[in-house]
A and B are shown apart, each in its own frame.
Chain A
């Protein structure tokens, strides 16, 4: 794939659980074209899946009249993925999941999506929309992990 300029791929997903797999496959294909190693592609797929699931479940509240936008930008040195929903964004970052608290019933077993996103990509940023909607999460994975 030519590295000379940015390539952009845009998706519009139904707000329906399961369609995150379309975004995962697209991100994986683009990452492979860019030469990302296999392990990083798997990291990216999981991060994209979690971002899309959050957009579907929380941002768009499973409202099938809404869509989830996914914009993938292949830069010469990195792949950026933005996942956009019609929610108002997160009010505050949830606490890091604690397996011991979950196992003792002190914490919901769920709620690990954001933690996984942050752990698996080089940069993750949650941005609330100015108009109370069109919020997004921006993920960045660098071609050269040592540059992270």
Chain B
């Protein structure tokens, strides 16, 4: 019943020339999204992927279980010395992420362009 979460990884570069791994999500992010969220993140090479962007542009629905997966990702990233940023959240989910405190550990940007410019 929940729309399956699709994910893929793109490699971009900041204007300063730093490599950035972009995890793009589509569909719902809920309790069934562990492979798509954490599995995809864990496939990144930790030594080279020091900057990670999470793209929520294609995500319509995130529930508290999905937010928990994002927090787990942030924990693993913090332990690996990576910096994580998010973009593409709706105004509502930007508010929700702020409410639960994710913004203390991951910067939020409206768009990919603004995220890359801000890194």
Residues of A within 8 A of B (CB): 16-21, 39, 42-43, 46, 49-50, 53, 97-100, 102-103, 105, 108-113, 115-116, 119
Contact = CB atoms under 8 A, between A and B. Distances in A.
Interface residues on B, range: 20 to 34
A19 B64 contact: no
Contacts of A116: 64, 96, 99-100
A100 B104 contact: yes
Nearest to B30: A17
Contacts of A46: 63, 92, 96
Nearest to A14: B1
Nearest to A53: B63
A34 B95 CA distance: 23
Contacts of B90: 42
A115 B67 CA distance: 13
- What are the 10 closest A-B residue pairs judged by CB atoms, nearest first? A18-B1, A99-B101, A42-B92, A109-B68, A18-B2, A109-B71, A110-B68, A112-B64, A113-B64, A109-B72
Contacts of A21: 1-2, 61
Given A53-B65, A110-B64, A97 B1 contact: no
Contacts of B99: 115-116, 119
Interface in B24-51: 30-32
